[in-house]
Amino acid sequence: MDINAMIATATAVGTSVGLKLLGALVLWILGRWAISIIMSLSRKGMEVRKVDATLVTYMLASISVALNIALAIAILGVFGIETTSFAALLAAAGIAIGAAWAGLLSNFAAGIFLIILRPFKVGDFISVGGVTGTVRAIGLFGTTIDTPDNVLTIIGNNKVFSDNIQNFSADHRAAIALLKVKVSAIPNVIASPAPDVEISTFTMSGPVLVVRPYAHTDHYWQVYFDTNRIIRESFAEAGFPAPETQYIITQRQPAV
């Protein structure tokens, strides 16, 4: 065996592999730096355009995943791996993973519908999937909720989307808008000043609204009774739930 030839071959291979590793390392560092800049600029751009916080979180997560996949493919290209073949392999793997992780993909799809349909947003107080609390984030696969007893809870988006959703933050705004229209249409209610519909206090059953229409004293009782009837009928037609008291019981183990 020619020792010199073996040494020369080993040196050439080692140099080639070393250069590729160095190139991959440099590409990784520059790529991560570029991704961080893109993410920062994307976040600032959305904040300047006042994009909703719910959509910002979801879009940034999607952008991050896409950019990191692109970086991984570029690094594989440094090692001479055909990216077109890798793309085909990735697609095949995606089909296999999709069959095995159907639930995960359904959570992803449900997350997209949650963003599009917007039944709630970050900061809303909701009840869904047996959990009640404030929405902290809507992620790619799950929704994060802070419960009243400070328990961080993550619910799969598919369960959120397929279950009943109660948005307590949205109810009072919808109720106020509805009552202002309905009460203004009651006979003998004057247009100026317009009827007042505001939150007066909060109870265990939820916020309490005060409805105050204005009318001549000759029509006081007619407007009074019509207002009560309109409140009852309007809420029933709109599907607002009947007020009910809710309790949250937290059990703590005594210190030993």
**pLDDT per residue over 227-237, tens digit each?**
999 988 888 88
Residue-wise pLDDT for 44-76, tens only, equals 887 787 776 667 777 777 788 888 888 887 877
- In a domain, residue 35? The reply is yes
Average pLDDT score over residue span 232-253: 70
Can you give the pTM of this predicted structure?
Answer: 0.44
Range of the domain at 136: 111-163
Sheet holding 142-146, edge to edge: 152-156, 142-146, 131-138, 125-128, 165-167
- Kindly state whether residues 174 and 229 are assigned to the same domain: yes
223 in any annotated domain: yes
- Over residues 136-163, the mean pLDDT reads 86
Q: How far apart are CA 172 and CA 208, in angstroms?
A: 9
Digit-coded pLDDT (tens) for 97-143:
555 455 667 777 788 888 777 888 888 878 888 888 888 888 878 89
Secondary structure of the chain as H, E, C letters: CCHHHHHHHHHHHHHHHHHHHHHHHHHHHHHHHHHHHHHHHHHHHHHHCCCCHHHHHHHHHHHHHHHHHHHHHHHHHHCCCCHHHHHHHHHHHHHHHHHHCHHHHHHHHHHHHHHHHCCCCCCCEEEECCEEEEEEEECCCEEEEECCCCCEEEEEHHHHHHCCEEEHHHHHHHHHHHHHHHHHCCCCCCCCCCCEEEEEEEECCEEEEEEECCCCHHHHHHHHHHHHHHHHHHHHHHCCCCCCCCCCCCCCCCCC
For residue 251, name the pLDDT band (cuts at 50, 70, 90).
low
Q: What CATH number does the domain containing 149 carry?
A: 2.30.30.60
What pLDDT is recorded for position 116?
79
- Tens digit of pLDDT for each residue in 158-190? 888 888 887 777 667 778 888 888 999 999 999
CATH code where residue 28 lies: 1.10.287
Do 128 and 214 fall within a single domain?
Answer: no
> Between 9 and 99, whose confidence is greater?
9
Q: Which pLDDT belongs to residue 141?
A: 84
74 shares a domain with 32: yes
Percent of the chain's residues with pLDDT above 70: 73
| pLDDT value at residue 221 | 94
Residue 38 lies in a domain: yes
**Amino acid code (one letter) for 131:** V
Average confidence score pLDDT of the chain: 78
The answer on 191 and 123 residing in a single domain is no
Q: How many domains does the chain have?
A: 3
List, in sequence order, every residue forming a beta bridge with 153; answer none if it has no partner.
145
pLDDT of amino acid 218: 93
- Could you report the per-residue pLDDT of 197-228, keeping only the tens digit for each? 887 776 666 678 889 999 999 999 999 999 99
In a domain, residue 33? The reply is yes
